[in-house]
Amino acid sequence: MITITLAVLCGVLVGSVLGTLGAGGSVLTVPALIYLLGLAPASATTASLFIVSVTSIAALCVHARGGHVRWKKGLLFAAAGIVPAAVTGLASTRLPEQLLIAAFALLAAQAAIMMLRPSTPAVACHTAGPVKTAGTGAGLGAVTGLLGVGGGFLVVPALVSVLSFNMRAAVGTSLLVIITNSLASLAARASTITALPWAIVLPFTAAAVSASWLGKRVGGNVSSTVLQRVFAGILLLVAAAMLADAAL
């Protein structure tokens, strides 16, 4: 019962962050599953992809109703990452665990720095062409598959900094990309799904879905600048903790 309660509490935290920021779910889910709920790293990354996929679908519905999803570029961005996510998802099983953790932490830190940098206001979302959109999506899809995460902590900065999305459009559209990349990565790990501890995963997922709706309401009352700073702060904290773990 204690484990289930802890899974629900973790799910509430992850869902709130994902619903508010459109990202950060896997960054928090993987450490929670490993360090609080006792899952092995391989099982934790697969379970995280399932949890974040389902939660992102729920959060996407809310953001879409608010008009914060750029469907055309979001679908192109997401489609470009499907094959790279599946291929690197298979390759990741052959790499040392500590190397993956260190790579994850460095990328999270880089994404945080991108979000904290002063930038000129984004112009219209149509400034980036299809080639640039697809190229960025393919690169992030590869990272998603390699690290076993939904990739929102990289997608949001890319949509803001590379494709000139405003923050709210980036948050909503990132969910579409997260869903696509996560499902592609899950397909590459299909043989391990049946072995997941569903007594932990399902309560975690249900709590995350419920909390994602609350997170969206909270995010709607907070300025884009504050969202960016909160997002960057979360990434920096997670990056520091994971680098420390990789060094041990």
Task: Report the residue count for the chain.
Answer: 248
Residue of 1, 174, 184 lying closest to 83 (CA atoms)? 184
CA dihedral defined by 2, 218, 70, 146, rounded to 10 degrees?
A: -30
Yes or no: say if 95 and 147 are a contact pair by the CB < 8 Å rule: no
Buried b vs exposed e over 194-208: b needs ≥16 C-beta within 10 Å? Answer: eebbeebbbbbbbbb
Helices (H) and strands (E) in the chain, counts: 12, 0
Tell me which long-range contacts 31-34 makes (C-beta under 8 A, separation of at least 24). 31/238, 31/241, 31/242, 33/200, 33/204
Q: Name the pLDDT band for 148 (thresholds 50, 70, 90).
A: low
The reported pLDDT for the residue numbered 204 is: 95
Q: Give the pLDDT confidence of 60-90 residue by residue, as tens digits.
A: 887 888 888 989 888 888 888 888 888 887 7
How far from 3 is each of 6, 31, 32, 208, CA to CA, in Å?
Answer: 5, 15, 12, 16
Residue for token pair 């400034």: 127
d(CA 165, CA 176): 14
Q: Give the pLDDT confidence of 151-197 residue by residue, as tens digits.
A: 676 787 778 877 788 878 888 888 888 888 888 888 878 887 888 99
d(CA 54, CA 58): 7
Tell me the CA end-to-end span of the chain in Å, nearest whole number: 32
d(CA 228, CA 151): 16
Burial class (CB in 10 A: 0-12, 13-18, 19+), 140: buried
d(CA 82, CA 34): 26
d(CA 236, CA 239): 5
Q: Give the pLDDT confidence of 103-138 residue by residue, as tens digits.
A: 878 877 877 787 677 654 444 444 556 777 778 888
pTM: 0.76
Yes or no: say if 115 and 160 are a contact pair by the CB < 8 Å rule: yes
Yes or no: say if 23 and 159 are a contact pair by the CB < 8 Å rule: no
Coil/strand/helix, residue 188: helix
